[in-house]
């Protein structure tokens, strides 16, 4: 991939609507076509209609995971190159993604150029040290994302989110008043 598409199709699957739409716009501006999905089910509906050349798949989504989606994509559309995109980067999940069929693995935050370059290089799967584009999150970033995910799963109900997180409601409110790391 030389960075300029020729109308090839990208499937972008991420539960974060802002990231999904921004990435789609950036991909389109580089000459590709893009379709987006917020979860496994929507992605599979798109795959039934079209077979994209490229897919960017978020690891953690509501419902079925990105790993499960990767496995399904490799069965339904074996020529689609998939890059796993995640905010929860670890060597374990990178290896799991590669085994599920990922072409490469990129941690958030990542810009469009980093994501596109992940399609250019494929880590050597048989070497002992798989080189993966990996930038670990700070503890504060991981905590913030976890709190936001639990809060979203609870329908923005702070009391329920605090119960599920096992922390007092006032502590959760203080954490939410701080800016994201």
Give the start-end residues of each E strand in 14-145: 33-37, 54-58, 81-86, 104-107
Walk me through the domains of the chain, giving residue ranges and CATH numbers. 9-120 (3.40.50.2300), 139-177 (1.10.10.60)
Taking the C-alpha atoms of residue 40 and residue 15, their distance in angstroms, rounded to an integer, is: 10
Residue 54 in contact with residue 7, Cβ under 8 Å? no
Q: Which residues pair with 57 in a beta bridge?
A: 13, 84
pLDDT at position 126 over 50: no
Calpha distance 55→66 (Å, rounded): 11
This model's pTM is above 0.95: no
pLDDT tens readout for residues 79-111: 888 888 877 666 777 777 777 778 888 877 788
Q: How far apart are CA 54 and CA 73, in angstroms?
A: 10
Q: What is the share, in percent, of the chain residues with pLDDT greater than 70?
A: 83
Instruction: Name the residue among 13, 9, 108 with its Cα closest to residue 69.
Output: 13
pLDDT in tens, 32-86: 889 998 888 898 988 888 888 898 888 888 888 888 888 888 888 888 888 888 7
């Amino acid at each position: 991939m030389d960075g300029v598409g020729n109308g090839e199709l990208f499937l972008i699957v991420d539960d974060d609507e802002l990231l999904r739409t921004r990435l789609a716009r950036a991909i389109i501006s580089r000459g590709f076509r893009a379709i987006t999905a917020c979860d496994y089910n929507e992605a599979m509906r798109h795959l039934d209609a079209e077979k994209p050349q490229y897919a960017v798949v978020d690891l953690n989504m509501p419902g079925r995971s990105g790993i499960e989606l990767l496995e399904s994509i490799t069965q339904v559309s074996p020529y689609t190159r998939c890059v796993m995109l995640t905010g929860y980067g670890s060597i374990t999940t990178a290896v799991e993604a590669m085994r599920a069929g990922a072409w490469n693995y990129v941690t958030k935050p990542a810009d469009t150029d980093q994501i596109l370059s992940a399609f250019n290089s494929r880590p050597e799967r048989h070497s002992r040290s798989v080189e993966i584009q990996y930038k670990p999150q700070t503890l504060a970033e991981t905590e913030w994302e976890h709190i936001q995910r639990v809060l979203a799963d609870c329908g923005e109900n702070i009391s329920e989110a605090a119960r599920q997180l096992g922390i007092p409601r006032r502590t959760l409110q203080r954490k939410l008043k701080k800016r994201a790391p």
